């Protein structure tokens, strides 16, 4: 994914700080970051980037649909590159490992919820939590 190209295409300003943040996100594959974790990675490469810039860049990338974020019940939000296959996640409450729930499982859960509630569409931006097999 070319985040900088997409930012330019949407008519937004590209700074060196944004380029660095986008480079880290693109090189991370499908890693999940809190803002603080991403900020630490960015400041290892450049001490000139402040925390507010990381927040603003993530907000912009979210607004134009390039990244998504999830809410944890007790903790910081988690950000990751968006694609159609990674919209639901499960996090271990012990080791904090994050697992993507397959699109097939997501679809089954949504169909069940729609059947029980009579809703015609269901979206979410939260994370399921539990204890993984390694921590049980």
Higher pLDDT, 14 or 71: 14
In whole angstroms, give the CA distance from residue 101 to residue 135.
19
Domain 89-130 in CATH 3.30.1490? The answer is yes
Q: What is the pLDDT of residue 31?
A: 85
pTM: 0.78
CATH of domain 3-81: 1.10.10.10
Q: Give 79's strand partners.
A: 33, 69
Encode pLDDT of 8-67 as tens digits: 999 999 999 999 999 999 998 778 899 999 999 999 999 999 999 999 999 999 999 899
- Given a contact cutoff of 8 angstroms between Cβ atoms, the answer to whether 57 and 66 are in contact is no
CATH 1.10.10.10 residue spans of the chain: 3-81
In whole angstroms, give the CA distance from residue 42 to residue 57.
12
Q: In the block, which residue shows the tokens 């402040």? A: 50
Q: What is the pLDDT of residue 84?
A: 61
CATH 3.30.1490 residue spans of the chain: 89-130
Higher pLDDT, 82 or 36: 36
On average, the pLDDT of the chain sits at 89
Q: What is the pLDDT of residue 121?
A: 83
Q: What is the pLDDT of residue 98?
A: 87
- For the ranges 68-77, 96-105, 122-131, the maximum mean pLDDT occurs at 96-105
């Amino acid at each position: 994914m070319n985040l900088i190209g997409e930012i330019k295409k949407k008519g937004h300003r590209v700074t060196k700080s944004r380029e660095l943040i986008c480079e880290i996100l693109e090189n991370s594959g499908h890693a999940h970051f809190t803002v603080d974790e991403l900020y630490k990675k960015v400041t290892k490469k450049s001490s000139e980037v402040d925390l507010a810039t990381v927040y603003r860049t993530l907000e912009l990338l979210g607004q134009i649909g390039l990244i998504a974020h999830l809410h944890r019940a007790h903790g910081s939000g988690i950000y990751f590159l968006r694609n159609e296959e990674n919209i639901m996640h499960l996090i271990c409450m012990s080791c904090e490992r994050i697992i993507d729930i397959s699109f097939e499982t997501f679809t089954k859960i949504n169909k069940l919820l729609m059947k029980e509630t009579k809703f015609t569409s269901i979206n979410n931006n939260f994370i399921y939590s539990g204890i993984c097999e390694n921590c049980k």
